[in-house]
Amino acid sequence: MRVYLVVSIISTVWIAMAQNQPGGPEEKDKASTALKADIRGGETDSFEETGRQQKDMDRLGDSAKNWQMEYNIITHFVYELLEKECHLKKVYLPVDATEDEPKSFIFMSEDAITNPNKLMVLIHGSGVVRVGQWARRLIINEDLDSGTQIPFIKRAMNEGYGVIVLNTNENYVEVEKSKKQVQPPASDTDEPAEKKKKDDSQKETIKRRDFYEKYRNPQKEKETKHIPIRDNSTPEEHTLYVWDHFISRSSAKNVVFVAHSYGGLVFVELMIHREAEVKSKVISVALTDSVHNVWHQDAGKSVLDWMQEHCRNWVSSSEPLDTPVEFMLPDCPRVSAGTERHELTSWKSFNSIFKYFTQALEAQNTEAKSKSTVTTRSSHRKKSEEL
| Active-site entry in 109, 261, 316, 336 | 261
Residues in the chain: 387
DSSP symbols for 179-192: P---PPPPP-TTS-
What is the Cα–Cα distance from 251 to 244, expressed in whole angstroms? 13
Angstrom distance (rounded) from CA 143 to CA 34 = 9
DSSP result, 290-307: ----TTTTT--HHHHHHH
Q: Is there a cis peptide before residue 185, judged by omega within 30 degrees of 0?
A: no
Alpha-carbon distance 69 to 63, whole Å?
Answer: 10
CB atoms within 10 A of CB 298: 11
For CA atoms 183, 184, 189, 191, the dihedral sign is positive
261 is catalytic: yes
CA distances from 384 to 110, 150, 373, 377 (A): 47, 55, 17, 11
Query: What is the rounded (10 degree) CA torsion for 109, 111, 114, 116?
Result: -110
Nearest residue to 335 (alpha-carbon basis) of 353, 318, 354, 314: 314
* Residues annotated as catalytic (active site), given as ranges: 261
